Structure 1
Amino acid sequence: MKPSSKIVLRIDEKPKFLQWILLSIQHLFAMFGATVLVPALTGMSPAVALVSSGLGTLAFILITRGKVPSYLGSSFAFINPLIAIKAFEGFAGIMVGSFLVGIVYAIVALVIAKTGIKWLMKLLPPIVVGPIIMVIGLGLSSVAVSMVTNHHGGYDIDYVLVGLVTLVITIVFAIYTKGFLSVVPVLMGIIGGYIFALIMGIVDFQRVIEASWFEVPPFEIPFVHFTPHFTWKVFLLMVPVAIVPIAEHIGHQLVLSKVVEKDLLEDPGLHKSLFGDSVASIIASCIGGPPVTTYGENIGVLAITKAFSIYLFIGASCFAILFGFCGKISALLSSIPTPVMGGVSILLFGIIASSGLRMLVENKIDFSQKRNLIIASVILVIGIGGAAIHIGSHFSLEGMALASIIGVVLNQILPGKQVVDFKDMFGE
């Protein structure tokens, strides 16, 4: 790739100390809002999520030999499955599910290393991936609205007001700001919403005052805090959904290759970066964090700053781990009121759904073709409608997982299948 603009820091270049600290903190802020939002929505620990994201990113950097400047944070694709699993299996089920996702990533990475990527293109064209992404966003819409409107089972106008103010602040930063601030509207929305909620008197700040500066996060370690056990229900809720972050990962690597002006799918290779995702998610499953994925927010920061140094991501990872062990920060995150998270989620979940729609539009999916209409329609209705297949008391396939599998199967068996290059799919 030919250089298109001046690079401030090359991938392997060491920044000056002050530059290193400031640019690392900038990447920390870029991922912070979304990374802590996922555990907040699923009842997990934001502090543990920060630590697992930091450790996972360091493992990713090691596996990719410091050639892929990416940050790995909590994946939104698994919010609904994690909520469902926690209801009947608790944290043990969540951790087993996260571990299984990491194993799936590893298997796909191994197959890609041996056979290339064409088979994956055939399996996950836009007509399958687009509607699945829409299901993720739309399936969570009721969760976001409930967080804004419900307080102890009843309607609360103060909650609604806080949620709406948070939403407005997030939109303003997303639309009317430039540079770095335009990359972190979620973080700014949470900060602004938190301040407004504090004014409205619905923030309990006492725990923050009482918390210690240093505090070990509430890790969930297998065979110490729980005994992991395999169930088909956990498997079927989590594993099929891995289709989405895998496709998302490939898209991120294509976009990142354009930003840093190097073909990262060739060197270090897609199999290496996907295996990095695998190890990071397995690490998260061993300490109580959600599955992780590469973050587009940090790619946006790279595009703005032109500072590609891998040392910035090492710094951001170390800061995330330190934040996770800071009791004050952990208590502060736990004190964020539900409507603040709900207000941000209204926009985020809508953007997820819109991203799926955008994929269909940009790839010029022709819905006058019955094949495309059928695949998209079935995925959307089964995924959002909560359809389920139960066989006996242990085997269950439902919601997004069921929709993902049916979408892949329909794409394979219906006539008129077309192969779409991922480079076209993600606008390379």
Structure 2
Amino acid sequence: MAGWKLVGGDKGLEPGAVVRPDERLAWPKTIGIGAQHVVAMFGATFVFPLLMGLDANLAIMMSGVCTILFLLIVKGKIPSYLGTSASFVGAVAAIRASGGTSAGVTGAILVAGVVLALVGLLVHFVGATALRTVLPPVVSGAVVMLIGFNLAPVVGGTYWPQDPGVAILTMLFTIVAAVGFRGFFSRIAIFLALIFGYVLSWVLDRTAGQIVFPTGAGDTAPHFRVDLDGVAGADWFGLPTFSAPEFHLNFILLALPGVIALIAENTGHVRAVAEMTGDDLDPYMGRALFGDGFGTALASAVGGSPTTTYAENIGVMAATRVYSTAAYYVAAAVAILLGLVPKFGAIVNATPGGVLGGITVVLYGMIGLLGAKIWRENGVDFGNPINLVPIAAGIIIGVGNVTWQIGSEFSLSGIALGSIVAIGGYHLARVIAPKNLREPLSDGRVYEGGTALSAGSVRDPATDGTREDQR
């Protein structure tokens, strides 16, 4: 577009030079950077639709459409790619376990997208500090944690049993790739693990023969790990399959906690970009949340997957120091074109269950531990019962998939109930707690029972005094 200022020219950039969001390199180099962004977002953007039982081709295409809309909404100030969000995977598993169809899934996520967009509007007019008041790090970290750990039964009960041998080898490859590979390749470890597991399964089919482990549908008849029958019949070019959403209140309540995870994710990513570019992006925080919410609602309205800003692409910017939004427009255009290749989608949909088992056992755990990362980075004090008690209850309810049956046709369980307890319980605790628990001292000490405890000390119930914590 004509709005970007060309930098570098024929001489190239000086070592360490930065390309700002409103600048671009020569088009061949910009296309090359855009291709890196495609590779970075690609793995997760089609893995997560697979895990949610949604159309990967449509997810890829809509990620490109939504990225372009996001860049327009933030006026090109926040370079970011909107790929498929993992925040709703747990809710989708719960919806499908309750008999929900893909239409019910996308309807629930669409409402969550609208709620996120409304939060973005509110933040835009009220200010970004309001987010921290309603969803402090102790709460947002807890919701992210229970979203990830609630998925453990999906790994153990659905994916892993389909081929334990391939699952464990894929898991080991994921660990090796994430830790042992260097630079950009370590950032796409999940994508590389999926390729590894896919190829391994294909080779085993031709050397070891068929397996009798249960399929995702529970069928134990002998079968090959990789079924490519659907690939041969798929067209090379064509539109993905669009579908209309359906709305059910109980499914919507399961999806709404994902909004909290998206808020935490988006704010973290925007601040990371602000730190890299040196720009004050707080005035655009509301626009970013609105843009992601609008993208999630739009993608779900046609049967696609929810969206979120992608850390993978932020990593590409950190490595290249090229923050040009022109590269993101290139990546978005490539994604739209990929979505128009049904044969590609058929190959993706043939991914063996054992491969997904090896990936998800790492991926779901990582999602959960992001909650702990939020706590650590924000110095959450679990010595304070305001933080400890309600959050502990919410996490156990979410991870244990505890159910509260309300009447004969409605219930709250798992992620939804756990999030409600964590959020509502925290704010209730703050209302009823004494002032000395609600207001830490300026030097980081906290009052307990009228006594000021130094950092790292805890009350010893045996002596009613204090002792230094030796942990």
Where does residue 214 of structure 1 map in the other structure?
Answer: 237
- Could you say what secondary structure the match of 1:69 adopts? coil
Aligned residues: 400
Are residues 106 and 394 of structure 1, via their aligned partners in 2, closer, same or farther at CA, if it must alter by over 3 Å?
A: farther
Deviation at 1:216, TM superposition (A): 2.0
Q: Distance in 2 between matches of 1:413 and 1:279?
A: 31
Deviation at 1:403, TM superposition (A): 1.2
**What is the alpha-carbon root mean square deviation over aligned residues?**
1.9
- Could you say what secondary structure the match of 2:241 adopts? coil
Structure with the bigger RCO (C-alpha within 8 Å, sep 6+) is: 1
Runs of at least 5 residues in structure 2 that lack an aligned partner in the other structure = 1-14, 206-224, 441-471
Q: Distance in 1 between matches of 2:388 and 2:152?
A: 23
Are residues 210 and 235 of structure 1, via their aligned partners in 2, closer, same or farther at CA, if it must alter by over 3 Å?
A: closer
Runs of 4+ in structure 1 off by over 4 angstroms are none
**2:53–2:102 Cα contact (<8 Å) kept:** no
Q: What amino acid does structure 2 have at the position aligned with 1:70?
A: S
Q: Distance in 2 between matches of 1:259 and 1:182?
A: 20
Deviation at 1:104, TM superposition (A): 0.7
Greater mean deviation of Cα atoms: 112-121 or 340-349: 112-121
Q: What amino acid does structure 1 have at the position aligned with 2:299?
A: A
Are residues 418 and 390 of structure 1, via their aligned partners in 2, closer, same or farther at CA, if it must alter by over 3 Å?
A: farther
1:49 to 59, 78, 81: 59
Q: Distance in 1 between matches of 2:31 and 2:270?
A: 25
Q: Distance in 1 between matches of 2:375 and 2:176?
A: 27
Q: Distance in 1 between matches of 2:272 and 2:370?
A: 15
The TM-score, its normalising length taken from structure 1, stands at: 0.89
- Could you say what secondary structure the match of 1:88 adopts? coil
**2:128–2:282 Cα contact (<8 Å) kept:** no
Where does residue 203 of structure 2 map in the other structure?
Answer: 199
- Could you say what secondary structure the match of 1:218 adopts? coil
Are residues 397 and 147 of structure 1, via their aligned partners in 2, closer, same or farther at CA, if it must alter by over 3 Å?
A: closer
2:424 to 397, 409, 425: 409
Describe the superposition over 1:154-195 as per-residue Cα deviations: whole angstroms up to 9, x where unpaired. Answer: xxxxx1121122112221221112221121111111111111
1:116 aligns with 2:127: yes
**2:144–2:368 Cα contact (<8 Å) kept:** yes
Greater Rg by CA: 2
Describe the superposition over 1:313-372 as per-residue Cα deviations: whole angstroms up to 9, x where unpaired. Answer: 111111111111112211110111111111111111111112112222333333232222
2:395 to 353, 357, 380: 380
The 5-angstrom pairing of residues 5-404 of structure 1 reads 6-86=16-96, 87-151=98-162, 159-201=163-205, 202-221=225-244, 228=246, 230-266=247-283, 269-404=284-419
Q: What amino acid does structure 2 have at the position aligned with 1:262?
A: D
The TM-score, its normalising length taken from structure 2, stands at: 0.81
- Choose between structure 1 and 2: higher helix proportion: 1
Q: Distance in 1 between matches of 2:418 and 2:331?
A: 36
Deviation at 1:259, TM superposition (A): 1.7
Are residues 418 and 46 of structure 1, via their aligned partners in 2, closer, same or farther at CA, if it must alter by over 3 Å?
A: farther
Q: What amino acid does structure 1 have at the position aligned with 2:171?
A: L
Deviation at 1:8, TM superposition (A): 4.3
- Could you say what secondary structure the match of 2:412 adopts? strand
Aligned-pair identity in percent equals 35
Q: Distance in 1 between matches of 2:149 and 2:257?
A: 18
